Amino acid sequence: MTSGDEHLDFGRVDVLRVTVAVGPTLDATPDEVFVLDLDDPHPEGSRWDETPYVDALEAMLRRVGTPPPPHAMEVARLHATWPTRLATARIVLSLGVGARTPRPPLGAAVLAAFETMLANPEGQPALPRDDALSLSRRLVHSAWPEVGVGTLTVTDEEHHHATGLWRVGLCSPARTRFEVDLGVLGGDPSTAHLRRTPAAEVVDSVGV
């Protein structure tokens, strides 16, 4: 229930998250996720429109292959006055690329699509270490909700000062490994690439 100046502005979006989730099939747990977070993703006084973002993702699919891999897209937004007066939107593109190795080259195509969505893909300040580790944990939980933020331990970390890129390795109690790259596009920390390796694959890779 709202009153006074607490009315909802259904045309405005304060925060947008665009996610591209990649797995062997559409109903399988993704093992690779690309994320772009945008604040105030439209000009002041205008209504938010998902069309430019959807168009960019459709163009990305055409670059990946003909025909493109099986895919599904979800577009949703939430307007609320409680607990905070915030409007959020999300666009999730899921891809089922099969189990074959190597996979189609997705990274360059996804980042090219993200670049068209960023107002300023360069010159963003690098994250301090604690912020990078915290954001990495939150992104893993967002992509794989069954993994608790507080359960993830840092296994390794690397900061490329020249590019602003952070690479953070995390491990869950189930020994699933996650690798998080923050700032994959021009060092902008709003762009991220996450990879998930189940425990069995980690064991196989080290020859145990």
pLDDT in tens, 116-136: 998 665 556 779 999 999 999
Burial class (CB within 10 angstroms; exposed 0-12, middle 13-18, buried 19+) of 12 = middle
3-class secondary-structure state, position 163:
coil
pLDDT of residue 105: 74
pLDDT of residue 165: 93
pLDDT of residue 198: 87
Helix-strand-coil split of the chain, %, nearest 5: 25, 30, 40
Residue 130: partners with Cβ closer than 8 Å, 6 or more residues away: none
pLDDT of residue 66: 83
pLDDT of residue 9: 66
Per domain, the residue ranges of the chain are 1-119, 121-208
Q: Which residues of the chain have pLDDT under 50?
A: 1-5, 203-208
Residue 13: partners with Cβ closer than 8 Å, 6 or more residues away: 41, 42, 48, 77, 87, 88, 89
What pTM does this model have? Answer: 0.88
